[in-house]
């Protein structure tokens, strides 16, 4: 992702967002259609016509990817899975599903819905091409239908590769899960295949680039993305299995580092930020009661000449739901808050007292012990 996704619209209750990186794909699709595919398919037209039709074709591809991901989302909803929306980015689109399917059958059907939709679009475009040709419609009409049909067929076939987290990899995981009854083992196998497939794409891309085809660089990027996504997906599953159902109180530090409100921002930087390397510190009064928090972002925004004159208490912000949780909060809910806000730490508030928590350190230690076992 290249930045904060932009919300475009909602359909069937799902928010459709677009990442700024999608602009690269839109530009490449438009350029390829306008300068390569359309002139070969329908020669003799003006350059303006080619570019106009190229833009239309790019919009058609955008709609195709949305429908692919929307199919996943609708089937997931059928099985009661939470869906946060659909985001389009440089490598296609993703239906944001924070949890795991309840059964192997649900996983299989949710995963299969996307390629099925892409094949359906490809078939519809093929029928459109045949109808446009039979009716004698202008050549660009048939060309767009034919090209979009081929593009959707390739999209479906690529997603059917049994390499997690592609749809085919999720279908493989569902089969392994149903056969063994062990979701973690099935995910590990499918993720390993996915990581290997990513390396294969990187290798093919490098060979293609050495032979003079710059399109090989795209294969390299896709390969790295697939490999990293496969490894991250397995880690996320382990994280959910480790933390789910555990209260935050299990991970609290009972002696957190706090900052007195009366010290200067300069003392905060030299005595706390450079010493402990945290990005957020709780601010307390003389009695140890929590007053708020101060972050490195606030320090950066304060002119340096003010650091020795401004107190931490004056700079601190009030605590809120973005940076505090209760001790009985589910650990996964706390982790979701950290992921959504980008916070590296959360304050666990117990009345007007607090204890900091560090989920990732606990996760790393527990997984090291469990993997060793």
Does 44 fall in a domain?
yes
- 214 and 252 in a single domain? The answer is no
- 224 and 182 in a single domain? The answer is yes
Does 131 fall in a domain?
yes
285 is in which domain, residue-wise? 248-372
pTM of the model: 0.69
Q: How many residues does the chain have?
A: 373
- 366 and 268 in a single domain? The answer is yes
- How far apart are alpha carbons 173 and 38 in whole angstroms? 39
- 82 and 45 in a single domain? The answer is yes
pLDDT at 179: 92
End-of-domain residue from the set 188, 220, 243: 243
Domains of the chain: total: 2
Average pLDDT for consecutive 10-residue bins of the chain (373 residues)? 69 81 80 81 81 86 89 88 77 71 88 93 92 84 85 90 88 92 87 89 88 78 84 75 64 72 90 86 80 85 88 79 65 64 62 54 52 44
- 345 and 362 in a single domain? The answer is yes
End-of-domain residue from the set 243, 268, 302: 243
Q: The tokens of 332 are what?
A: 């996964």
- 118 and 75 in a single domain? The answer is yes
DSSP state, residue 319: P
Does 1 fall in a domain?
no
- 30 and 141 in a single domain? The answer is yes
- Alpha helix ranges (H) inside the chain: 22-32, 38-41, 47-78, 104-135, 139-159, 167-180, 183-210, 216-243, 265-268, 274-276, 296-301, 312-315, 331-341, 359-372
56 Cβ neighbours under 8 A, 6+ residues apart? 144
pLDDT at 18: 81
- 214 and 271 in a single domain? The answer is no
- 15 and 67 in a single domain? The answer is yes
Nearest to 57 by CA among 159, 155, 149: 149
pLDDT at 157: 93
- 254 and 304 in a single domain? The answer is yes
Does 30 fall in a domain?
yes
Q: Choosing from 69, 301, 305, 371, which is the catalytic residue?
A: 69
End-of-domain residue from the set 243, 270, 295: 243
pLDDT at 127: 92
**CATH code of the domain covering residue 334:** 3.10.580.10
Does 105 fall in a domain?
yes
- 268 and 227 in a single domain? The answer is no
69 labelled catalytic? yes
pLDDT at 221: 83
């Amino acid at each position: 992702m290249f930045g904060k996704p932009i919300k475009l619209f909602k359909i069937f209750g799902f928010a459709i967002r677009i990442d700024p990186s999608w602009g690269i794909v839109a530009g490449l699709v438009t350029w390829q259609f306008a300068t390569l595919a359309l002139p070969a398919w329908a020669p003799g037209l003006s350059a303006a016509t080619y570019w106009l039709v190229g833009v239309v074709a790019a919009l058609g591809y955008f709609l195709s990817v949305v429908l692919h991901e929307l199919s996943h989302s609708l089937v997931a909803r059928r099985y009661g899975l939470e869906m946060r929306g659909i985001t389009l980015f440089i490598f296609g689109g993703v239906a944001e599903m924070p949890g795991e399917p309840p059964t192997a059958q649900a996983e299989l059907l949710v995963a299969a819905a996307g390629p099925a939709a892409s094949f359906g679009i490809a078939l519809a475009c093929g029928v459109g091409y045949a109808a446009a040709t039979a009716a004698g419609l202008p050549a660009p009409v048939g060309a767009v239908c034919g090209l979009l049909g081929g593009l959707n067929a390739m999209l479906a076939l690529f997603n059917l590769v049994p390499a997690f987290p592609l749809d085919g990899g999720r279908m493989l995981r569902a089969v392994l899960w149903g056969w063994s009854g062990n979701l973690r083992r099935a995910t590990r196998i499918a993720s390993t295949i996915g990581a290997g497939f990513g390396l294969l794409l990187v290798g093919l891309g490098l060979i293609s680039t050495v032979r003079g085809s710059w399109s090989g660089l795209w294969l390299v990027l896709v390969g790295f993305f697939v490999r990293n996504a496969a490894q991250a997906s397995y880690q996320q599953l382990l994280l959910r299995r480790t933390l789910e159902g555990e209260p935050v109180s299990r991970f609290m530090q009972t002696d957190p580092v706090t900052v007195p409100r009366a010290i200067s921002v300069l003392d905060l930087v030299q005595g706390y930020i450079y010493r402990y390397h945290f990005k957020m510190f709780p601010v307390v009064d003389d009695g140890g009661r929590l007053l708020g928090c101060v972050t490195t972002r606030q320090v950066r925004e304060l002119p340096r000449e003010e650091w020795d004159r401004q107190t931490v208490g004056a700079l601190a912000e009030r605590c809120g739901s973005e940076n505090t949780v209760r001790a009985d909060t589910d650990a996964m809910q706390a982790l979701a808050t950290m992921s959504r806000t980008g916070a590296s730490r959360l304050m666990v508030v117990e009345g007007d007292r607090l204890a900091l928590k560090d989920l990732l350190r606990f996760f790393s230690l527990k997984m090291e012990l469990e993997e060793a076992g």
